[in-house]
Chains A and B, each alone.
Chain A
Amino acid sequence: MKWEDVCQAFPEQWVLIEAVQAYTNEESERILQDVAPLKKFSNSPDAMKAYQELHRENPNRELYVLHTNRKNPNIIEKKWVGVRR
């Protein structure tokens, strides 16, 4: 699904989505080509809790919590070296 289709299917909602296909362009913007909506929520804290649980179990899945009033996901990619022992 495209993001616009998710917005149409779930208007005025918070959604937990998975980026099935995505790339980062030269302006460091993450472009979501194919999105799978996983669950809808009436508020963002509930959506964030669901995200946290899923992210803990599956750290490699690319998940986002977004409101469908966002015309464009407008996600910027940043680098982090990371915490390692």
Chain B
Amino acid sequence: MGRCEAIVKRLIIEDGLLITDMELTFRGQSLWIKRVLVDTGSGGTIISTDLAESIGIIAEEDDMIYRISGVGGSEFVFSKTVDSIKIGQAEIRDFPLEMGAMNYGFNLDGIIGLDFLQQIKAIINIDKLIIEFN
């Protein structure tokens, strides 16, 4: 393997959605998040409040609050900087993650948005169903 070899993470298409998984670390605790939508139409990266709570991520007084408005209506989320988010071998440290109800009528644990994809310099290859990170 050459040093410049791209790191690759597999994707799957389920119910017409592009899905992968990721690992989240917050204050030293890690959580594997199984069903994560890869969504270039989402500015932010989000996980459900229920999952977040399981590793102690809860809303605090001075968290950033966002109103996310889109096709399906609007919802509110709070945001916290987590230790790291990892997709395969690609890791971003000190990343601002949003927590929300995620009542979309889909079985999703989280969404990887454009902010994360941009930071890891992702190349999404739909034909091969992989994300490459350079």
Residues of A bordering B, CB below 8 Å: 14, 24, 30, 43-45, 47-48, 51-52, 55-56, 59-60, 62-67, 69-70, 73-85
Contact = CB atoms under 8 A, between A and B. Distances in A.
Nearest to A47: B59
Contacts of A48: 49, 53, 58-59, 101
Give the interface size bracket for B toward A. Answer: 35 or more
A82 B113 CA distance: 11
A37 B60 CA distance: 19
Interface in B70-120: 70-76, 78, 101, 103-104, 106, 108
Interface of B: 15-17, 37, 39, 41-44, 49, 53, 58-62, 64-76, 78, 101, 103-104, 106, 108
Contacts of A64: 65, 67, 76
Contacts, number: 99
A76 B66 contact: yes
The 3 A-B pairs of least Cβ separation, nearest first, read: A81-B41, A82-B71, A80-B70
B101 A52 contact: yes
